[in-house]
Structure 1
Amino acid sequence: MNMAADVLFSELNARDNNKIGLITLNAEKALNALNQSMIDLLLQQFSDWRDNDDVVAVFMQGSGEKAFCAGGDVRALRQAVIDGKPEVPGHFFATEYRVDYMIHTYPKPVICWGNGIVMGGGIGLMAGADFRIVTDTSMLAMPEISIGLYPDVAGSWILSHLPARLGLFMALTGCRLNAADAIYVGLANRFIDHAFCDNVLESLQQADWSASEAHAVVYSVLQKYREKSAGWLPYSKVREHRDLIAGLMDQPSLADVMSAIDSLETDDDWLLAARKTALHGSPLSAAIGYRQLQRARHMSLKEALQSELALSVNTVLKGDFCEGVRSRLVDKDKNPQWKFNAVDQVDEQLLNDLFSSPWPENPLHDL
């Protein structure tokens, strides 16, 4: 195992010469944000383990206590654009989406330990896993509107299928979800206290993989720790405010949705934070996310990722992305100069351009 790498791979010995593939995102200082080399390594390793009969399951985790994965390395993408390398975002997103698609369609059980911060690209990795575990410190969000992007990594496909337009609310507000919220909306399906992580791995190694199908083996192992953790599940704000959110989002246009958010009167800190993010985010990103969520509802996962690839590249090169990353992560002045001041001022022609493919053939045509 190469300890200097940004992502570590090992094979844990299990019974009867079986192995558990262990992935540890290892960029702790960057909250395990994904860079190009990490994504390249993930794609190769998932491919290798898929074709290795000894590997019965794959377990993903992040190093450190703070995050599973806080998203993609957007600073590097911005720098590539500034340096006149417009091909870099396309390569990054295409590889990242291939990894996400592979996890969604993987023939072996994939377990994701979503401890701490799970945002953007982290949700992209987690969403396709069969067993999506959240812990006592999990915090999930799709806050791309704050950096001039939109929920990608199949986010448009995932969020468009959530009930009560919760997905649109997540896209526009970047609202933070705890473990209970994540399970309620379906982004996670297991709550296990983080203290049990090592025990879970040991139990997977000791399990009898010949006794039943691999997914059933993982299910029974996780069920034990899920039951032990049941009393610690936090309170869900999304469940509490579901009807209010549905009402806010049920408007005839995006401008009306934003107006409803703006007019929201509440003393609930969670809702106030969501409202603030929506009102300070990129109006162009709001328009992109709104349209893409409507489109993705009727797409396959493959079609959604193909459309997101074109949209993400165009948004990084021509949208508010560079300015958003500058204001939030580089200069940190939190005073972005967005292209438009409100969603009803967004130029329709620019929006249409962002949705048109820059290639004769989509680089993900062979998914």
Structure 2
Amino acid sequence: MTADVLLSELEARDNKKIGLVTLNAQKALNALNPFMIEQMYHKLTQWQDNPDIVAVFMQGGGEKAFCAGGDVRSLRQAVVDGQIESPARFFEDEYRLDYLIHAYTKPVICWGNGIVMGGGIGLMAGADFRVVTDTSMLAMPEISIGLYPDVAGSWLLSHMPAGIGLFMGLTACRLNAADAIYVGLANRFIDQAFRENVLASLSQADWSAQEAHKVVYGILQEYREKSTGWLPYSKVREHRDLIAGLMDKSSLVEVMEGLENLVTDDEWLQTARKTALRGSPLSAAICRRQLKAARHMSLKEVFQSELVLSVNTVLKGDFCEGVRSVLVDKDHKPQWKFADASKVNPDLLGEIFTSPWAENPLSDL
């Protein structure tokens, strides 16, 4: 059997090496399972302490995806089987990995080709160099499975301009490379055909001549310039003002009414609208409240608050039903706890935001 994550070292000049992380659960579109998270965390920690490792390059095996999210199907099954401690363990380990990447002392390059969703964005967000390609498709689709945008999504989305973050969370809208750069989820566009060239250039670079981040910057800049002209058209930029108007309301009920009343010929907007109206109203309420709260949190505080929300949402929210509907039975007919945003019980919402622990498991981040 092939491992779900491949961890290797690419030889470079002067006995230096590049740490190579390849997500390799290709049948699952490289979705993260507990084994992958654990292996990556330990290896990244080792590489950070190894002076011969000058940079880390993360990529997805195959051409379809970097990472389509977390293995939520297995997580749901564990909860259904009575393993109610599973969510806390899974999310704590995932968030520790994400935080490690954000705080990493060596340059991290994330090659975000193909599908990058949910947990994949969590891995990508902390990288110094976040590369999108002509095949990239990013989204935070948690509303469709009764979750909410986690993996520091509440930090990322709350800092986007013009209500775009809330729109992403409520609609699971799909972003191409240009969209991802526009909203700050990515900072480089390089054609997918150049991936092997980039790795070869990293291997051949003179790492003793200048600081590692500068070496990576120079290499990626070369291929970024070679890819100029291939960047697709940004739908988010086109509809920025419309999105801002839809999201700038005094209540979630008004936001959802605005989406319901939206009349448009634009297929991208139609899909986003449909997803929002079909999604979990409870998840929508969690998303809006969390984005407002996260604006003034530190990254550490965001991960701590998300651990509370994620565990409670899995155990008390619409998560198990959403995953059943989309990924298990695939009937796409979820029986959400509440019919619409106006029916969401404020007491249950308050419970989901209440920590089940005296001390947060991530207090030592």
TM-score by length of 2: 0.99
Identical pairs, percent: 75
In the alignment, structure 1 segments of 5+ residues that lack a partner are none
Q: Residue 230 of structure 1 aligns to which amino acid in structure 2? A: T
The aligned runs of 1:12-23 (5 Å cut-off) are: 12-23=10-21
The aligned runs of 1:98-109 (5 Å cut-off) are: 98-109=96-107
1:82 maps onto 2:80 in alignment: yes
Match of residue 97 from structure 1? 95
Post-superposition CA distance 1:15-34 (Å, at most 9, x none): 11110000000100000000
Q: Distance in 1 between matches of 2:288 and 2:249?
A: 12
Q: Residue 246 of structure 1 aligns to which amino acid in structure 2? A: A
Match of residue 302 from structure 1? 300
Q: Distance in 2 between matches of 1:256 and 1:298?
A: 24
Q: Distance in 1 between matches of 2:3 and 2:354?
A: 37
Q: Residue 231 of structure 1 aligns to which amino acid in structure 2? A: G
Output the aligned Cα RMSD: 0.6
Match of residue 363 from structure 2? 365
Match of 2:249 among 248, 251, 254: 251
1:281 maps onto 2:261 in alignment: no
Q: Distance in 2 between matches of 1:314 and 1:249?
A: 26
Q: Residue 9 of structure 1 aligns to which amino acid in structure 2? A: L
Q: Distance in 2 between matches of 1:233 and 1:279?
A: 31
Q: Distance in 1 between matches of 2:46 and 2:357?
A: 30
Match of 1:48 among 40, 46, 49: 46
Q: Distance in 1 between matches of 2:55 and 2:278?
A: 42
SS of alignment partner, residue 338 of structure 1: coil
Q: Residue 103 of structure 2 aligns to which amino acid in structure 1? A: T
- Give the length in aligned residue pairs: 365
The aligned runs of 1:1-367 (5 Å cut-off) are: 4-367=2-365
SS of alignment partner, residue 249 of structure 2: coil
TM-score by length of 1: 0.99
SS of alignment partner, residue 56 of structure 1: strand
Q: Distance in 2 between matches of 1:309 and 1:151?
A: 12
Q: Distance in 2 between matches of 1:4 and 1:181?
A: 34
CA-CA distance at 1:211 after TM superposition = 1.1
Post-superposition CA distance 1:117-158 (Å, at most 9, x none): 000000000001000000001000001000000000000011
In the alignment, structure 2 segments of 5+ residues that lack a partner are none
Q: Distance in 2 between matches of 1:326 and 1:287?
A: 21
Q: Distance in 2 between matches of 1:107 and 1:316?
A: 33
Once the two structures are overlaid, the 10-residue window that deviates more, 206-215 or 136-145, is 206-215
Q: Distance in 2 between matches of 1:353 and 1:119?
A: 27
SS of alignment partner, residue 230 of structure 1: coil
Post-superposition CA distance 1:251-292 (Å, at most 9, x none): 111111111111111000000000000000000000000000
CA-CA distance at 1:98 after TM superposition = 0.3
SS of alignment partner, residue 188 of structure 1: coil
Q: Distance in 2 between matches of 1:23 and 1:99?
A: 13
